Structure 1
Amino acid sequence: MTEVRTTCPYCGVGCGVIAKPAASGGWSVHGDPSHPANLGRLCSKGSALAETLGLEDRLLTPRVGGAPTGWNAALDLVASRFRDAIDQHGPDSVGFYVSGQLLTEDYYVANKLMKGFIGSANIDTNSRLCMSSSVAGHKRAFGTDTVPGQYMDLEEADLVVLVGSNLAWCHPVLYQRIVAAKKARPFMKVVNIDPRRTATCDIADLHLQIAPAGDVALFNGLLAWIAEKGAVDAAYVARHVEGFEVALSAARSEDLSVTGLPPQLLREFFDLWVRTEKTVTVFSQGVNQSSSGTDKVNAILNCHLATGRIGRPGMGPFSVTGQPNAMGGREVGGLANMLACHLDLENSEHRAAVRDFWNAPAIPSVPGLKAVDMFRAAGEGGIKALWIIHTNPAVSMPEADAVCTAIEACEFVVVSDVTAATDTARRADVVLPAMAWGEKDGTVTNSERCISRQRPFATAPDGPRADWRILCDVAGRLGWAAQFDYDGPAEIFREYAALSGIAGRFGRDFDISGLVDLSTAEYDALAPTVWPLTTVRAGGRFFADGGFFTESGRGQMLPLKRRGPAADTTAAFPFRFNTGRVRDHWHTMTRTAKSPRLSQHMGEPYLEIHPEDAAVLGLQPATIAEVTSPLGRALLRVVTTDRVRPGEVFAPMHWTSESASQARIDALVPSEVDPISGQPESKAAAVSVAPFSAAWYGFAVAGGEIRPRTAYWAKARTKTGWRAELADAAVPQDWEQFARDLFDRSDADAVSVIDAHRGVARVALLDSGRVVATLYAAPDPVAVARAHITGRIGESDAGTVLAGRPGADRPDPGATVCACFDVGVNTILSAIRTGGLTSVEEIGAVLQAGTSCGSCRPELAALLANAAAPRAAE
């Protein structure tokens, strides 16, 4: 094997990658220059994929009650417990909670089993948490969940409006496509609409720092301005749109003060949008994750429908998805209110067609339980048996503590995953080992409707199985072996393509029946393909000439009114709590945490808070904040910054009980959902913030495991072991013994420097004269050269290690800025000073920093600006 073309398992951009055997063993992973999504580019996460392929923490055999068991015994138990629940309590007493990490073929089998043969619609997906408002908005406006445009529209547009999307960190390759387009066409404009100032603002000509839940009002204001300035495409509206007048009437009554934006800035944005025909509006989680998320989506769609700016090159609304196969899950009916191939669950003709095609006993006629309701039912006894596949709801669901309780209370819980080391799997009755990325075989669909192959290139260890195979084995034990007798993913794909042809005959948008006759060899070789793909159409855009999938065939504009966040702030909980992602980590870090360099940029959970708020609360930078809501509590490192406005705070969502003491931030978020989509509001909880009374802070690094027992801790992998940040309210009586317990090295020799008066302690543990672990503690946040210390484990000079600072012969690279090439801040600053560097491009030429995914370029620009300021003052 020389190389394998496959698809990245992270975000919905769907980048192509090439995996090759590495000369040193293992694999190397690089961007695929032939893939249309990325043309060879990768983000920091994608470029580190080869570092995540090890077998650490891999689940290799089924476990029942925590004990290893054989596959037959485990599957027999799963089938019997599901059968007992169905027989005694009916099909709605069981549920599947699945994931955008599944391949389309796996997703299809899960949906077929639950809706077609178990006879319940109780299958929902973690895409409910990120994309369901877009699905609902699309269906209300277009009749189907259709993304009208293509990625190339981002490069052909004269104006790109980013709404609730930190594209630079969350979809870096798309961000770099826009950066390159803007450089080639300097007249191109970018507007960023976000309550926070993020890295994406680096390319923005205009940043609208909108108030929480102000999006509907903003786009209502834009719609009214469109009409006032004569920018309505009257011919398009007359031929292809319904609801224009009532939507405009509602828009004209909107109070724009609720946007929190000054009138002059609103006019500037409105004028820019109105006079720029080739406009693409990109929206993501800041729009979707809201109790009014569907209305936000439709407010954006209203503006594009009114102007006819849809489905033509360089213009249209564009929902960018969060997961690698969120789109594929939507296509196969992975949501509780959908059927496969964009058919409608509540349409009797659609149900009958799917039932007949599957030769199924029955298709449920009403939607099943959406994610929040499913876990609530599990906790209350309505769901008796629950199967969770490739997702970690004990961390990622709102009211995460209540979700943990619900999983524990449910009579029978199965988890399929690549690891048992998750908050969810630790609570399951049965854990089934599934294949991981690099071993899986199937397809995924990205945000622009492009179907790509995920091909296996690594040999799976003995034990783990493909998800479709696990589901089919359970289906056979439930009595449906003939209907789930597939010989591989190609056969599943052909069946799925055939069903899409039926959907096409119903006038649905999703139709890949042109692929129904693919041989297994042709499936293996399938190139990236944009749907629809039929005998008469291949790919392209939708709706430039109408052709909507509504009953009337017209696009629907809706009258909308801004609604505030569901949770009100109070004197007890005065802050708006925004949540999101960091640049180099993914979801709950089961994959990215395996890569040491991906934890070097931001290695612990943190809280962004405005300096004015921090001063009032007595919070110092780098101390620990206690963040509390009526539902939960978190301990987070303080980052004071004007990236957030006074009264608003932000925290990332990746840390779990495996990686930090108390940083499962979704435990603070209430289960308030959009009434249309069922998507939870994850960006506007009401919280309080207070200082955590730490008696000491610490930093620890070791060549082996670290076992913290402090009130605050967060740990991350290094190239040689682990590192951890610590804080606690009680000072240890014996620092050397504390260190031995922390590192589980009771036999190690200790060298220490302890100043009890100043409250400072430094302890190095040695084995055969070499440093195996070090601990640094102080009454204030510890100021040591962390990157330097991390690289000194294994050396024999304990004194130098205890100093915590490098000598002149060993420069400290500092905290990582560029994760792609592992370049630290001190290295960059030194190059700027000694080389007289004046541009990000010059930094890249010298150090490579910023030349791969580019998501560190805003930080490089900030370092240049800060370095130039002292020179200007001299």
Structure 2
Amino acid sequence: MAGAGRKTVRSTCPYCGVGCGVLLTPQPDGGLDVRGDPDHPANFGRLCSKGSALGETVGTGHRLLTPRIGGREVSWESALDTVAERFASTIAEHGPDSVAFYVSGQLLTEDYYVANKLMKGFIGSANIDTNSRLCMASTVAGHKRAFGTDTVPGTYEDIEDADLVVLVGSNLAWCHPVLYQRVLAARKARGTRIIVVDPRRTASCDGADMHLALEPGSDVALFNRLLAEIDARGAVDADFLGNTTGFDAALEQARAEDGTATGLSEAQIAAFCTEWIGTEKTVTIFSQGVNQSSSGSDKVNAILNCHLATGRIGKPGCGPLSVTGQPNAMGGREVGGLANMLACHLDLENADHRAAVREFWAAPTVPDAPGLKAVDMFDAVGEGRIKALWIIHTNPAVSMPDADRVRDAITGCDFTVVSDITAETDTARLADVLLPASAWAEKDGTVTNSDRTISRQRAALPAPGSARPDWEILAEVGRRMGWQGAFDYQSPAEIFREYAALSGIAGSFGRDFDISGLVGEDYDALQPTRWPVSARREGGRFFSDGRFFHADQKARLVPVSWRPPVAKTAPRYPFRLNTGRTRDQWHTMTRTALSARLSAHLAEPFLEIHPADAFAKGIGSADLVRVDSPQGSAILRARITDAVRPGQVFAPMHWTGETAPSARIDALVAAVTDPVSGQPESKASVVNVTRLNAAWYGFAVSARPMTPKAAYWARSVTRSGQRAELAGLDTPQDWEAEARALFDLPTAELTSVTGPGQGNARLAFRENGQLVAALFVSSTPIAVMRDYLATLPDQPDQSLLSGRSPADVPDPGPILCSCFGVGVNTILSAIEADGLLSVEAIGVALQAGTNCGSCRPELADLLASVQQKEAAE
């Protein structure tokens, strides 16, 4: 409950592109109460597990509070002068293309706008790209080819109106849980059917009527077959087709493929085509499984071709819908944050557009050619062509493909600046200059979600130390480089008004993005607003009138052909690696890893592998495995499951050098990109998998930070401190010395039990009679009650070294419902004791699954396992 006298602030969640509204109430202890905003049109009060835990991620313990140069704390004056002078001198000596900005969908639109203006308008280079290149650049390219602009045609309301929702390369249940709840609500209200197109069985398949486990990268073959069937079954909308060009060429190409590349049976393909063609109100939702591909742009256009051919676009309940992975990926697209774009959806390579932007900004120059896209940018850094680099709110040393090579490139760069909220990331540790930035809940601005709704982020907490907003940092550097008038901003409201005014010029060119109607609005009071907002039109859907943004106002159907992933499997690398997200973590965990309950669901990195492949490789369910690719290697925990097909493996992309250095999965991903969009192929690299022959395995808990030094370790926070999984290739001679070094407890009181052999020991440490740490070591994978032990030292410790909870202290088991902190054992006990027969009954009894719903598939699996066990007895 909000306390008296504490003002509740309306803001927006900083995670995925759903763009959920939140209500933030500062607490007396400096914390933050976070609730869903019932009036926000994206979520109507719902939050996912990550959003619900936002209050656990604020604080100053992890924060960068003061600028640093070479690791030494300095004043802002010194830091800003250094950045401005080094960038200016580099430009003077080597030209504007010798510098680059690599920015992020974590930036607010106003921050993004100033960065883009500084680089493209005043430095005079287009070398500004964003980590959004890694998640939605193929959609941008596909939209522009089809529509003439990067336009999202529909709205979230279409989900409620749809009779069929097709999820393509999107685990919506885990990656956009609140949006998935809208899908399930439509199913309940109107019987909406759900089809999932994904090589892997995900949580989104739990409620699906059909799952098409197609071969990786074969989406174009599936949608080409659909287009051919649309024509063959007479489902083409001839009237709407008059608003398009290219249909005949696209159809000819589609007819050249029969769908065999998908690996699906003819019956499966026919059933899919029948469902799609026979359902007028169809929404096709697509995400990273489409975008992150060497043929990502073609996949997007294959989907768009089908919607254009049937006229299922711009109408209630139908259309293609790209869902973005970051809170302001859309805002970054709008301000021209990509290297091949100008602000407000204007075209960098259009002379009239460049001239208009240059005049508006009173800029000395605007580049006439695209800059370096993300992969090419870091190649240029590694080759010494980029000599000064500014990285803002992103962690490319972990998240870029071929991450080891990117890390080495940043290390060797002449001058690297990193703006972030913490110094404790793989990338921040490589910086020459570190600049402390304000974090979410401390800064003001706007973000745009996946259906074009602009929402305010508002500050509810003061920025700690000397942290500053990103727009202010960028503007200060711009002024110090000699452009005082152009960057003399005093507030984000002033930046937003300038940006909105520029969009009016874009509107005069016939562009889709025009929010000039917001120029005079009260910025502080701005409500969630779907663009466009102008004298010409407001909000709503695009293209129902058949008018598009190419010069002839017609859409383009683009002929596309299926192409297999670039990397080929071979005896040395027989598996195809899929990467993605887990339910409760976000990007490289800079924020989510601070939450104990988010860290409790899947506490260490893992590799999903099919049982047949695991058997063939001699891999057991608790084994560690080494995963090798031509680019690098990783060590992960085996998770044996038929959710992946034989020959395919899956690993999450979240773990870093800070949390599990051997599990930086993007170090294995090849830097192969889509030739149109420049987006990397993150879901189809080739690898080999072998069992790791560890000499010992360990599990540790500590009330203070640990410093592991093992071949494998994965560390996460608990409510009482930290926990860690460990393994080594050589057995230490002195476990007491190893444990004291791990916990930094040189003089603590020790209680220990040793087993047979050097690789078996259990050690507990106390200070002033208080249990502070424990280490369990075995020559085989550790079998202890981890989730009970992770509560130490809060729990009594009489039976600590047994690794099991006392009889009167139930072990909750691994957390399954993160929203309410409900463990597997608690759920199993309730199922058995109370005779629970449905997921809904579990929710009534324990609340599990009643908030964001993203754990409901796991609840269903757990319930099914109990019922199967009972049936077998």
The corresponding residue for 1:824 is 823
The corresponding residue for 2:237 is 233
Distance 1:51 1:13 in 2: 21
The amino acid that maps onto 1:760 is N
Native 8 Å contact 2:358 2:365 kept in 1: yes
The amino acid that maps onto 1:664 is R
The amino acid that maps onto 1:350 is H
Native 8 Å contact 2:695 2:759 kept in 1: no
The corresponding residue for 2:853 is 854
Are positions 1:259 and 2:258 aligned together?
no
Native 8 Å contact 2:97 2:386 kept in 1: yes
Within 5 Å, give how 1:400-419 maps onto structure 2: 400-419=403-422
Are positions 1:91 and 2:101 aligned together?
no
Distance 1:584 1:660 in 2: 17
The corresponding residue for 2:201 is 197
The alpha-carbon deviation at position 866 of structure 1 amounts to 1.0
Gaps (5+ residues) in structure 2? 1-5
Within 5 Å, give how 1:323-334 maps onto structure 2: 323-334=326-337
The corresponding residue for 1:541 is 541
Within 5 Å, give how 1:489-568 maps onto structure 2: 489-518=492-521, 522-568=522-568
1:34 to 39, 42, 45: 39
Within 5 Å, give how 1:89-238 maps onto structure 2: 89-186=94-191, 188-238=192-242
Distance 1:849 1:870 in 2: 22
Native 8 Å contact 1:772 1:794 kept in 2: no
The corresponding residue for 1:483 is 486
The corresponding residue for 1:461 is 464
The corresponding residue for 1:648 is 648
The alpha-carbon deviation at position 21 of structure 1 amounts to 2.8
Native 8 Å contact 2:154 2:314 kept in 1: yes
Q: Secondary structure at the match of 2:423?
A: coil
Are positions 1:751 and 2:751 aligned together?
yes
The amino acid that maps onto 2:172 is L
The alpha-carbon deviation at position 854 of structure 1 amounts to 0.4
The amino acid that maps onto 1:731 is T
The corresponding residue for 1:693 is 693
The alpha-carbon deviation at position 183 of structure 1 amounts to 1.2
The amino acid that maps onto 2:749 is D
Distance 2:616 2:654 in 1: 28
Native 8 Å contact 1:659 1:714 kept in 2: yes
The alpha-carbon deviation at position 696 of structure 1 amounts to 1.3
Instruction: Mark the CA change 1:167 to 1:644 in structure 2 (over 3 Å): closer, same or farther.
Output: same
Runs of 4+ in 1 over 6 A off after TM superposition: none
Q: Deviations over 1:40-86 (max 9, x none)?
A: 00000000000000112200001101111110001101011100111
Q: Deviations over 1:680-723 (max 9, x none)?
A: 00000011111111011111001001111110000000011100
Gaps (5+ residues) in structure 1? none
Q: Deviations over 1:771-797 (max 9, x none)?
A: 110111112211111111111315664
Distance 1:310 1:6 in 2: 31
Native 8 Å contact 2:655 2:661 kept in 1: no
Q: Deviations over 1:558-600 (max 9, x none)?
A: 1111011011111111110000000000000000000011010
The corresponding residue for 1:724 is 724
Distance 1:591 1:617 in 2: 36
The amino acid that maps onto 2:786 is R
Native 8 Å contact 1:475 1:481 kept in 2: yes
Native 8 Å contact 1:97 1:371 kept in 2: yes
Distance 2:715 2:257 in 1: 48
Native 8 Å contact 2:50 2:592 kept in 1: yes
Identical counterparts, % of pairs: 65
Instruction: Mark the CA change 1:825 to 1:367 in structure 2 (over 3 Å): closer, same or farther.
Output: same
Distance 1:267 1:537 in 2: 41
Q: Deviations over 1:734-785 (max 9, x none)?
A: 2222211111101111111111248431111111222110111112211111
The alpha-carbon deviation at position 2 of structure 1 amounts to 2.1
Provide the TM-score with structure 2 as the length reference: 0.99
The amino acid that maps onto 1:264 is A
2:431 to 424, 428, 432: 428
The corresponding residue for 2:343 is 340
Distance 2:805 2:620 in 1: 27
Instruction: Mark the CA change 1:88 to 1:759 in structure 2 (over 3 Å): closer, same or farther.
Output: closer
Within 5 Å, give how 1:671-710 maps onto structure 2: 671-710=671-710
The alpha-carbon deviation at position 23 of structure 1 amounts to 6.2
Native 8 Å contact 1:770 1:794 kept in 2: no
Native 8 Å contact 2:26 2:460 kept in 1: no
Worse-matched range after superposition: 138-147 or 613-622 = 613-622
Provide the TM-score with structure 1 as the length reference: 0.98
The amino acid that maps onto 1:234 is A
Within 5 Å, give how 1:654-665 maps onto structure 2: 654-665=654-665
The amino acid that maps onto 1:223 is L
Distance 1:450 1:705 in 2: 41
The alpha-carbon deviation at position 538 of structure 1 amounts to 1.4
1:309 to 298, 307, 312: 312
Q: Secondary structure at the match of 1:535?
A: coil
The amino acid that maps onto 2:473 is I
Q: Secondary structure at the match of 1:638?
A: strand
The amino acid that maps onto 1:446 is N
Are positions 1:53 and 2:52 aligned together?
no
The alpha-carbon deviation at position 22 of structure 1 amounts to 3.5
The corresponding residue for 1:21 is 26
Q: Secondary structure at the match of 2:196?
A: strand
Cα RMSD for the two superposed structures: 1.0
Distance 2:355 2:29 in 1: 56
Q: Deviations over 1:430-477 (max 9, x none)?
A: 010000000010000000000000000001113100100000000001
Native 8 Å contact 1:379 1:409 kept in 2: yes
Q: Secondary structure at the match of 1:479?
A: coil
Native 8 Å contact 2:701 2:792 kept in 1: no
Distance 1:723 1:758 in 2: 23
Native 8 Å contact 1:703 1:794 kept in 2: no
The amino acid that maps onto 1:282 is I
Native 8 Å contact 1:161 1:279 kept in 2: yes
The amino acid that maps onto 2:284 is T
Distance 2:605 2:354 in 1: 46
Distance 1:794 1:601 in 2: 20
The corresponding residue for 2:358 is 355
Distance 2:745 2:620 in 1: 34
Q: Deviations over 1:645-664 (max 9, x none)?
A: 00000000000000013111
> May I ask how many residue pairs the two structures share in their alignment?
868
Distance 2:718 2:502 in 1: 48
Distance 1:758 1:255 in 2: 61
Native 8 Å contact 2:733 2:758 kept in 1: no
Distance 1:215 1:509 in 2: 28
The alpha-carbon deviation at position 871 of structure 1 amounts to 2.3
Q: Secondary structure at the match of 2:661?
A: coil
The amino acid that maps onto 2:328 is N
The amino acid that maps onto 2:817 is C
